[in-house]
Structure 1
Amino acid sequence: MNAIKFPGFFLLFVSFLLANDQLEDLYKQASFYENQKEYKKAMEIYKKIAIEEKNANRIYFDEEKQIAHKIATETLDKIDDEETEKTIQQILAKSFDLYAYEENYFLPFSYDSRQRDDRKQTEAKFQFSVKKPIISNFLKMNETFYFGYSQTSLWQLYEDSSPFRETSYRPELFVELPYGKKGKTVIKGFKFGFLHESNGQPVEKSRSWNRLYLTSYFQLGNLFIAPKVWYRIPEEKNDDDNPDIEKYLGYGDLTLVLPYKSHTFKLLFRNNLRFNKDNKGFVQLDWTFPLLGSKSLFAYVQASSGYGDSLIDYDKEINRFSFGISLSR
């Protein structure tokens, strides 16, 4: 089955790369007209970009829908009820709209500066993250409700048995609310959600917590600022795997994102705001840029230092340097 579908997947992949090239050309055209103060022409191109991006994101699912339609029309007996016919096609297609959420990357080289008894210093790190829109404008505020899922793994790739040392699972429900108008205010939107994070380990290594969080988005030129605060939902004392996690991760973080030409720089700060000997913090820098001129594959460099590098190591100070590739940014 995989051998049969591979050519189709390859063609779709090539189409996706070509679509990204076309989108970049459209962005250049729109920017040109905007700089020339021909805003009407620029807006027409931006509308076209929105349509193209929507189509590009759904290219894989569209192929599945076409296959489902072919099966339904050429193989299955016709059902008189139109609504039932559509339901059958949905069942056959198994289609669902998924979009990249946080970064999706694979870092085959990830080096911890300190030697530790339970691991090699060099391992692999990768992350998978998607979101699915659930409903839009339900509250008539142009908001969108999402389900998100992210998974980050630390893989002892260079050990003999190559075990997965840690995997963090982060399902969440959230709503994004745009705010203000172009050129009128520096604040651009809000995000409010519920996040569960756990690692699925046996009791002695189990870690988990639940949070409600609020993020605000600001724009200053090409600098984007996102302060985030959270509230940990209390747990029963006997069920709490990490009762002191806030001592290390605090109650929020600050993210700065700076796109510059084809590069992106992302800086994350976190501190527990205890201004004494118990002060704990964390900082992480992510740098991405196109790999070999590609429009959809990026080189990824990550450097981090402090507490909370992973859920299993939330109470350990770790200095890590990693590099690899990313499929989104």
Structure 2
Amino acid sequence: MYLKYVLICCILFSIQANSQLLEHDKDFRAADSLLKESSFSVHRDNYFLTGVPLDTDITRNTADVKYQVSFKQRLSSKPLLGGFFPYLMYTQKAFWDIYANSKPFSEINFNPGFAIVRPFYLKGGRLTYGTISLEHESNGRDSIYSRTWNMLAFSLKSQISPRWTVGLRGWIPLVDKDDNPELTQYVGYGEASASYQIKPGRWSADVLFRKGSGLINYGSLQTQVNWRPYKNQNYYFTLQWFVGYTESLIDYKEHKSMLRLGFVLKPENMGIF
């Protein structure tokens, strides 16, 4: 079952090894793409969104707020063996029933991790990040409401043109099947992402597709369109649509379709994955 992930790992290190054949100045500029960013920086999108369901009635209990806080800390300004840079990462995603009478948080998901990142150039001068990460994700609850899993992940993210950035990510899930039956069927074993600059500096679009382990079942699709009102500011207004499973861990078996509107802070560069 894990053979394909071993192959992904081999491909990742093969690309890393081949990249070392590039001339030294290109290697330097690839590493400089990480070093020009502050050591403490935005990891994934940081956002605050409010929205309504598209697949059920809109009520005070089905509309909600979703927000995410995500950051990373580069641990060294000098690469480790093999040209890898070490990072600590943390992402927290919350679902807030702000329109309900008592305004409770229905779910909070915690996602800390450690990663090593290798910047390099593919043929044609395409900046690429190869990443190996060990991550934990849980909702911090106990008993029948506990949801938790770990992953060993491998990813490649590349700026294939001035407007397009694409990424592929696969993982080996490590799940306590007694507490989380069938979770791997829903979180799957990988995802693909793409970002397109519709009007550079103003309009952009993002797509994130996660495939569940079933042949046609499970998985999810998240798309969003972003508008940047000021070129010298790093925040956007965004319209996001999520459809599928595992938007939150507590309801990973429930199919959802949510349309949300709000604002987002994005990484200054393309992000490590």
Q: TM-score, normalised by structure 2?
A: 0.77
Looking at structure 2, the residues matched to 51 and 217 of structure 1 have their Cα atoms a distance apart, in angstroms, of 13
Match of 1:255 in 2: 193
Q: Which has the higher Rg, Structure 1 or Structure 2? A: 1
In the other structure, the counterpart of 2:266 is: 328
Identity in percent: 26
Post-superposition Cα deviations, 1:129-163, rounded to whole Å, max 9, x if no partner, equal 00001133121x33211000000000011112111
- 1:289 paired with 2:227, answer yes
* 1:106 matches 2:44: no
Deviation at residue 268 of structure 1 after TM alignment: 0.8
Corresponding residue for 1:147? 88
**Residue deviations 1:91-123, cap 9 Å, x none?**
xxxxxx52110001111x22123448x971111
Q: How many residues align structurally?
A: 234
Q: CA deviation at 1:327?
A: 2.3
Q: Which residue of 1 aligns with 2:106?
A: 165
Q: Residue 244 of structure 2 corresponds to which residue in structure 1?
A: 306
- Deviation string for 1:143-189 (max 9, x for gaps)? 211000000000011112111010000000001111235725x5723
Cα distance in 1 between the residues matched to 2:244 and 2:265: 26
Q: Give 2:74's aligned residue.
A: 133
Displacement after TM superposition at 1:220 (Å): 2.6
More helix by share: 1
Calculate the TM-score normalised by the size of structure 1: 0.64
Q: What is the CA–CA distance in structure 1 between the aligned matches of 2:232 and 2:97, rounded to whole Å?
A: 29
Identify which of structures 1 and 2 has the higher relative contact order when contacts are C-alpha pairs closer than 8 Å and 6+ apart.
2
Residues 259 and 243 of structure 1: CA distance in aligned 2, closer, same or farther (over 3 Å): same
Determine the C-alpha separation between the residues in 2 that align with 1:179 and 1:53: 15
Look up the equivalent residue of 1:197 and give its one-letter code. E
Q: Which is worse superposed, 146-155 or 297-306?
A: 297-306
Decide which moves more: 305-314 or 206-215. Answer: 305-314
Query: For 1:213-292, what aligned pairs fall within 5 Å after superposition?
Result: 213-221=153-161, 222-235=163-176, 237=177, 240-260=178-198, 261-262=200-201, 263-275=203-215, 279-291=217-229
On the 8 A contact 1:114/1:121 being kept in 2, the answer is no
Gaps of 5+ in 2: 1-28, 268-273
- Are residues 247 and 119 of structure 1, via their aligned partners in 2, closer, same or farther at CA, if it must alter by over 3 Å? farther
For residue 179 of structure 1, give the secondary structure of its aligned residue in structure 2.
strand
Paired residue type of 2:249 = L
* Structure with more of its chain in strand, by fraction: 2
Deviation for aligned residue 1:324: 0.5
Does structure 2 retain, via aligned residues, the 8 Å contact 1:187–1:216? no
Equivalent AA in structure 1 for residue 80 of structure 2: F
Question: For residue 204 of structure 1, what is the amino acid of its counterpart?
Answer: I
| Aligned-partner Cα distance in 2 for 1:247–1:137 | 37
Distance 1:160 1:254, change over 3 A: same
Equivalent position of 2:254 in the other structure: 316
Which residue identity does 2:42 align to in structure 1?
A
Q: Is the 8 A contact 2:237 2:262 kept in 1?
A: yes
Distance across 2 between alignment mates of 1:243 and 1:52: 42
- For residues 203 and 296 of structure 1, what CA distance do their matches in structure 2 show? 41
Deviates more, 1:97-106 or 1:186-195: 186-195
Q: Which residue of 2 aligns with 1:177?
A: 118
Q: Tell me what 1:212 maps to.
A: 152
Rounded Cα–Cα distance in structure 2 between residues aligned with 1:181 and 1:258: 19
Question: Structure 1 300/232 Cα, relative in aligned 2: closer, same or farther at 3 Å?
Answer: same
Q: Is the 8 A contact 1:286 1:301 kept in 2?
A: yes
Q: How does 1:5-154 map to 2 (within 5 A)?
A: 57=38, 97-107=39-49, 109-115=50-56, 120-135=61-76, 136-139=78-81, 141-154=82-95
